[in-house]
Structure 1
């Protein structure tokens, strides 16, 4: 059974295809660095995707290998960027409340701060 551990939807200043590419390959040559991992994190693998609306990552946390991060990218009116929702799910054990808070905070920071700033906003 898949459990939703957290989700947040926010706007991004870049258009959907740019955000999708940033998520598909966070280390793409020529892009601004935004995915700065901590010592307890590993680079995600893309486990599913459909351009330019969906990317699914493997877990960033080796101690939580069954977690997944789903990104849903939705177009907004021209010139208004896109809406991006991250959803953290797991097929595994539910984390403690403190761990869950950390995971949610970390994803929110990476996506709604670091990624947003990489577009100059």
Structure 2
């Protein structure tokens, strides 16, 4: 995906942090440009996807992802699923296929809605 498309779509886009139900380990920052912008719908799509692979998943919070300049901000929280862990979400974001190896600076502040307050 091109940087201009990321600029267009990564504006307060909701995400959830998925974990493996058996191990409890977080393994993916899950979001999609084609999904409804509701944490519950995003998690439902993740459950459908991983159930076809025979994997049971859980959720460790949710938030929003915003691209501003060369920075990727993880911020906010899910009303239904609560806050995400900053360190976990940052590590998963850096590994995401759409975001890795593009030279982005990743910043995170769970619970903060204003990306201008995140440094």
**TM-score by structure 1 length?**
0.33
For CA contacts below 8 A with separation 6 or more, give which structure has more relative contact order: 1
Q: TM-score, normalised by structure 2?
A: 0.33
